[in-house]
Chains A and B, each alone.
Chain A
Amino acid sequence: MGLASFIARRILTFIPTLIGVLLITYLIAYAIPADPVRAWVGEKLMNPETLEQIKTKYKFNAPWYEQFMFLIQQLLTGQLEDPVRHRNVFTELTSRFAVTVELAIVGFMFLVIIGLPLGIIAAIKKDSPVDFAVRVLALLGSSLPSFVLYYFLILVLFVHTRTTYLAGIPMPSGKCISDLAALPQSVPVLGNVASAIGSVPMFGAMMCGEWSVVADTFKRLYLPGLALGLLNGGFIARIVRNSLLDSLSAEFILYAKARGLRKLSVWKHALRNAMVPVVTVLGLNFGGLLSGAIIAETVFNIPGLGRYMYDAIMRLNFPVIIACTFLIAVIYIVVNLVVDILYAVIDPRIRY
């Protein structure tokens, strides 16, 4: 009952945050003492007429706040255009984000596979060699420059064994794509949702049953995913370990034993109570992955969100920068919200 109003309240408090993010982005971009229009058009195509045309279109001659309002208005109505590629920003952003989502999911999978079991084992075998190894893994993971690890995994798994490849992103067949795009017409609301989920190639392929594409996607992305998992898995394992140790030493565990509960039931209490801090860290990590792993995308040549934004900054592409920041801020907000809701699911003390 209170959940809806809680979400509404949270979204309300996030509106100023969102506006602040956009405003700061814009002001930074505005402060650049260079001529963005030149950067957009390129020296070759430069002629005074086109320049003037673009300048009027993007209100470059108006005061900064009018420019800003214009961009925001375009953004919110979904009409924003990428002045370099001359396409709707959202079309491009959607396809880029879909790739980032794929990478985030694969990376997250590795993170969980590495982090959770290691953390639990380390807690059970506290102060043993395994525990120490987890500690070292966590320290190494946070000390290793990510790009160096990426190069090494490429060296081992690409150059030497060729179990992956470093170009392109597997897409479902054309028929599948058009089928998914047609869904909203046949099924009203659910179809829209399905179509949106299907726009992530991996999910689209799953929906069409094109499993070879899914396998290919995994083959393409497991390397960066593994790298992300290795870099943060140790850290996650440490969090799991510490919070499990905390909950194991809680009084209610001793009381559960005093009640003569079987071992399995006692562990159930311990594990569920240990989940709260773990969910936060995992949630924020997933949010971080969704916001684009720029370096991983650069090294592994993945056309994701991070890379898109990086290129946009390099070319002073305001509309794209604004759109990307908007998306990233929204991801931050949504991830925080989801983490809060998950809290409430795990812990009945938290009710909104």
Chain B
Amino acid sequence: MESQPMYLPEDVILKVENLDVKFYTYAGVVHAVSNVSFYVKEGETVALVGETGCGKSVTTRAVTRLIESPGRIEGGSALFRRRSGKVVDLLKIGDEELREIRGNEIAYVFQDPTSSLDPLYTIGYHIHETIVAHKSKISKKQTFKQAVSLLKQVLIPSPEIRVKNYPHELSGGMRQRSVIAIGLSNNPRLFIADEPTTNLDVTVQAQILDLLKSLQENYKMGLILITHNLGIVAEVANRVYVMYAGKIVEEGYLEQIFYNPSHPYTKLLLRAVPDPTKKIEKLESIHGTVPSLINPPPGCRFQPRCPFAMEKCLIKEPPLIEVENQHRSACWLLERT
């Protein structure tokens, strides 16, 4: 059965709509991601921001169905424009087609490069494997040559030697660069970086971010950056999605989010982070903790911690309300009555 050709605006690579992911654990059903929609354009950096357990990693993993049992994608669509120009729904295509896209057209960098790399194989072998999985006729010699040039691109010194190194022989920063090189091995159209610098030192973090930015410019790929660090967002993102408890609470261009935040959570979060360039008397802290996603609070999920909560917030979940052009926020305070 041939499905209807799906529509995607020209410059959009990925458009996710109403994504729903649940984890069926013993402890009950965790509604990890509910009703999340976002899109990524060519050559654009989109940041997903939020605290631990807000569902940002799950969202991106769900896009290529990397959710393992007991997790399940319950609904939504993820339209993706393939290199050939064909638009497919990643959540519906067959396993083999999905495999062809993974690691080839969509590349990942997971949070911890140490545990993403198989300790028993060299960096070169990882790249070789990734290329061979998507190109049938290529010799080992060729792939290793390619591996060397990829490592050179991610600025690893003496790549001819490093290509034969095992992961444990590299420093944390080099490992992260290698993982980025693996991601680039098939010229992906979309690059998903999940907390790519969390375990790294600040100076190395700056190097990696710089590298990601320049690579993105060279390759013209879409970049989804997942992070909890607002400083990183400020440095590299074009557009920002703020997530809280499995939902997107605010979205917009970088300046809109930073200079005109409209959701109380975003506002408080921005004031909870010490900015070293400013004199701060007191940090704003958000009292309480992130709610359980098994029994999320009724109405707005931020309501139990929100200093502006009204009666309505307890009853009804707020939809995303337009604040200004492309800037939307899920808060009842913005409702024009």
A residues bordering B, Cβ < 8 Å? 250-252, 254-262, 265, 269, 272-273, 346-349
Contact = CB atoms under 8 A, between A and B. Distances in A.
Interface string B165-184: 01010000000000000100
A29 to B, nearest CB: 47
A260 B99 contact: yes
Contact of A251 (B101, B103, B110, B182): B110
Contact of A260 (B103, B117, B120, B166): B103
Contact of B120 (A256, A261, A265, A348): A348
| Closest 7 pairs (CB-CB, A-B) | A260-B103, A259-B103, A260-B102, A251-B115, A255-B116, A348-B166, A258-B108
Contacts of B134: 260
A259 B118 CA distance: 13
Contact of B133 (A261, A273, A349): A261
A261 B115 contact: no
Contacts of B64: 258
A265 B129 contact: yes
Nearest to B183: A259
Nearest to B95: A263
A260 B100 contact: yes
A246 B121 CA distance: 18
A254 B66 contact: yes
B104 interface: yes
A26 B323 CA distance: 90
Contacts of B168: 348-349
B119 A349 contact: yes
B112 interface: yes
B281 interface: no
A256 B119 contact: no
B130 interface: yes
A261 B166 contact: no
B68 interface: yes
Given A273-B118, A346-B120, A347-B119, A257 B133 contact: no
Name A's interface SS.
helix
B115 A260 contact: no
Given A348-B166, A349-B166, A349-B168, A262 B120 contact: no
Interface in B82-110: 99-104, 107-108, 110
Interface of B: 64, 66, 68, 99-104, 107-108, 110, 112, 115-121, 129-130, 133-134, 166, 168, 182
Given A252-B116, A349-B119, A259 B182 contact: yes
Contacts of A258: 64, 66, 102-103, 108, 110
Given A348-B168, A349-B166, A349-B168, A261 B119 contact: no
A241 B45 CA distance: 43
Given A259-B133, A347-B120, 10 more contacts: A251-B115, A252-B119, A255-B117, A258-B66, A259-B103, A259-B130, A259-B182, A260-B133, A273-B119, A346-B120
Contacts of B121: 269
Nearest to A273: B120
Contacts of B110: 251, 254-255, 258
Contact of A272 (B100, B104, B120, B130): B120
Contacts of B112: 251
A321 to B, nearest CB: 44
B280 to A, nearest CB: 37
Given A265-B133, A269-B118, A255 B108 contact: yes
Contact of A257 (B102, B115, B117): B102
17 contacts: A251-B110, A251-B115, A251-B116, A252-B119, A255-B110, A257-B66, A257-B102, A258-B102, A259-B107, A259-B182, A260-B100, A272-B120, A273-B118, A273-B119, A273-B120, A346-B120, A348-B168
B239 to A, nearest CB: 24
A251 B100 CA distance: 20
Nearest to A276: B120
A194 B101 CA distance: 55
A256 B118 contact: yes
A269 B99 CA distance: 17
